[in-house]
Amino acid sequence: MPATILANKLGVRHVYSLGISSYDEGVFARPGELNVYQRLPVNRRMQDGESVLIVDDISDKGHTFNFAKQYIQDNVCSNTVTMSLVSKPGTSHEPDYVFDHVPAEQWVVFPWEND
């Protein structure tokens, strides 16, 4: 959701989704284990000078951001910028742009997660 809204505001036409989670059906995986359930349709590397903005709703532990950034750099573009709505202390990836910081123990529920 945040990436789509941001793309509309910035006039970006090419938005792709990379599906990564640290849990499966509400059950957390082992520490550091990720579930990659949707890969990017990688068909070309971007040109020098181009960049990719990686957006996620939260940087909690930082594992998904780290994986996504490495995946993009290996397959699409070496120049990446990251953005998150929320970041928690102790994350292994502090995004380049963050809307808000919350305490580590705070559980965050975004509007699009409500049934």
The phi and psi torsions of 24 (rounded to 5 degrees) equal -135, 120
State which residues of the chain have pLDDT below 70: 23-32, 42, 115
Question: What is the total count of domains within the chain?
Answer: 1
Q: What DSSP element (H or E) covers 20?
A: strand 19-21
CB 105 within 8 A of CB 97: no
Q: What is the CA radius of gyration of the chain?
A: 14
- Only one residue has tokens 């529920």, namely 109
Burial 66-79 (b: 16+ CB within 10 A, else e): bbbbebbeeebbee
The answer to whether residue 97 sits within a structural domain is yes
- How high is the pLDDT of residue 15? 83
Give me the pLDDT at residue 23, please. Answer: 66
Give me the pLDDT at residue 7, please.
86
In a domain, 92, yes or no: yes
Structural domain including 109 reads 2-10+50-113
- Asked if residue 19 belongs to a domain, the reply is no
CATH number at residue 109: 3.40.50.2020
Inter-residue contact 57 to 70 (CB < 8 Å)? no
